[in-house]
Amino acid sequence: MAEPISAPILRRADYRLSEEEQALAEAFSAFFERSCPSERVRAAEPWGFDAALWAELAPMRPVAMGLPESLGGDGAGLVELVLVTEPFGRSVAPVPLVEAAVAARLLAAVATAAPGGPADAWVNQVIDEHKVVTLALQPGGGPQLVPAGAVADAVVGLLGDELVLGVCPAERAARRPRNHGFAPIAWCDLSDPECSFRPLWSGPSARAAFERAVREWKLLMASALIGMAQATLDIGVEHARSRVAFGAPIGSFQAVSHALADVAMAVETGRRLVRKGAWYAAHEPDEDVHRVLMAYRYATQTAMTAATVGVHVLGGVGFTVESDPQLYFRRVKGWTLVAGDPKAALSDIADALFGPVAIAK
């Protein structure tokens, strides 16, 4: 007779969407497809913000949906949010969706754990007035480029062990540099006295909440990147079917088709990686760190490859400003590099998987 074993751990690997999840993804896909054709993306260049589009999007509550019901949100989690940011990325909509959703969740975490501070009022303003709060991704003082900093009503960040929130004077917020990604980034310094940064919460929990928020930003951005990669893939495939050279559609040349096939494989796989990461982050937050970082790293790589393939497959036209792949080419880099070198995720993955480095005595 066999020795009894204690029940080993076996997990499901079920990537299917529920009917509600499917409906949510379709609703946002339909919105972005209808409301944000590439002309609208171009029209918002170079500053990368379309206030009218943000207002059109507001009734769908993309930010409020990720907040707890107790605070007036819709109680959705990261699994739902990645389904929203994928179609957002697919259309590279000029709205600060990822930053707004993540910073609002951070404020909600503060308002829940340490009620009575300014976070409470900001949560209300985010829900009722569609105010935009963004996240300074780098902890500490000194000037940094903050995503959506040029259009945000307030910035949250980590200074020392303190979560702080500041409202910069209008002329400060107008300090937006032109940039590669045509993104509404702006300089911000958490220690700048003129921006009147006020403490929201302090201590190890505050730091942990900030770190979680940065990971959530990476997760939602990873899903947006998969959407961006899918969009450039679709454009490339369409072109490869119809463009003829040497008497044959270029899609029959394997230099073209295999490059597209590689992107297709990475997009499909990256989407699964993101969904798995989102599920862990939502259900087993202690297990999620390396998964989210892996999804982010793989998505940045996939989206950048997709964009270069997209530009290349369209030939000379792909390199002109009239081509849509170049919209993605700029934004894949421009939307992500504000979080620092994406390859540095590897050293964070190592910390999460292998434990900290032992310091030699």
Partner 1 sequence: MDFGVIDLDEETVAFWAEVRAFCQTHVTKEVLDEEFETGSGFNEGLHKALGARGWILPTWPRQEGGAGATPLQAAILDAELRAAHAPLITLGTTRNVLPAVLRWGTDELKKAVVPGVASGDVRFCLGYTEPDSGSDIAAAKTRAVRDGDEWVIDGQKMFTTGAQNCQYSFLLTRTNPEAPKHKGLTMFLCPLEQAEIRPIRTLGGERTNMVFYDAIRVPDRYRLGPVDQGWMVLLGPLNAEHAMPEDTDSAPPIDQPGGMYGYSAVEGLEVALAWARSADPDGRRPIDDPLVRERLAQAALDIEVATVSTGPAGRVISSEMAIRVAEDLMDLVGPRALLPRGEDAAIGEGWLEYLHRFAQGTATYGGTTDIFRNIIAERFLGLPRQAPRAG
What's the closest the beta carbon of residue 216 comes to partner 1, in angstroms? 17
Residue 39: other Cβ atoms inside 10 A: 8
Q: Which is nearer to partner 1, 75 or 115 (CB)?
A: 75
Binds partner 1 by CB under 8 A, chosen from 18, 116, 177, 204: 18
Nearer to partner 1, 71 or 311 (CB): 311
For 234, the token pair is: 């679709």
Q: Which of residues 136-155 bind partner 1 (CB under 8 A)?
A: none
Can you tell me whether residue 146 is helix, strand or coil? strand
Stretch 317-356: interaction string toward partner 1, x if CB under 8 A: -----------------------------xx-xxx-xx--
Q: How far is the CB of 254 from partner 1 (least distance, A)?
A: 6
User: Least distance to partner 1 from the beta carbon of 353, Å?
Assistant: 6
Contact 28, 88 (CB under 8 A): yes
Residues 70-99 binding partner 1 (CB under 8 A) are 79
Number of amino acids touching partner 1 (CB under 8 A) = 59
Q: Shortest CA distance to 309 belongs to which of 265, 246, 248?
A: 265
Residue 320 CA, distance from chain mean position: 27
CB 48 within 8 A of CB 183: yes
Taking the complex as a whole, the smallest distance from the CB of residue 48 to partner 1 amounts, in Å, to: 30
**For the CA atoms of 337, 341, 344, 349, what is the dihedral angle to 10 degrees?**
0
CA distance 108 to 112: 6
CA distance 111 to 18: 31
Per DSSP, what are the bridge partners of residue 248? Answer: 245
Amino acid at 355: G
Residue from 43, 252, 322, 341 binding partner 1 (CB under 8 A):
252
Q: Is 22 in the site for partner 1 (CB under 8 A)?
A: no
For partner 1, the closer of residues 10 and 321 by Cβ is: 10
Binding residue for partner 1, selected from 134, 138, 257, 300, defined by CB under 8 A = 257
231 makes contact with partner 1 (CB under 8 A): no
**Which one of residues 70, 196, 269, 320 is an interface residue with partner 1 (CB under 8 A)?**
269
Token output for 3: 């020795």
What values do phi and psi take at 336, rounded to 5? -105, -35
183 close to 331: Cβ distance less than 8 angstroms: yes
Least separation in angstroms between CB 234 and partner 1? 9
Question: Looking at beta carbons only, is 132 or 259 nearer to partner 1?
Answer: 259
Residue 19 interacts with partner 1 (CB under 8 A)? no
Please report where in the chains the tokens 């940094």 appear, as a residue.
Answer: 144
Q: Is 246 in the site for partner 1 (CB under 8 A)?
A: no
Length of the chain, please?
361
8 A C-beta contact, residue 243 and residue 249: yes
The residues binding partner 1 (CB under 8 A) are 2-5, 7-18, 21, 79, 237, 240-241, 248-249, 251-254, 257-258, 260-262, 264-265, 268-269, 272-273, 275-276, 278-280, 283, 290-291, 294, 297-298, 346-347, 349-351, 353-354, 357-358, 360
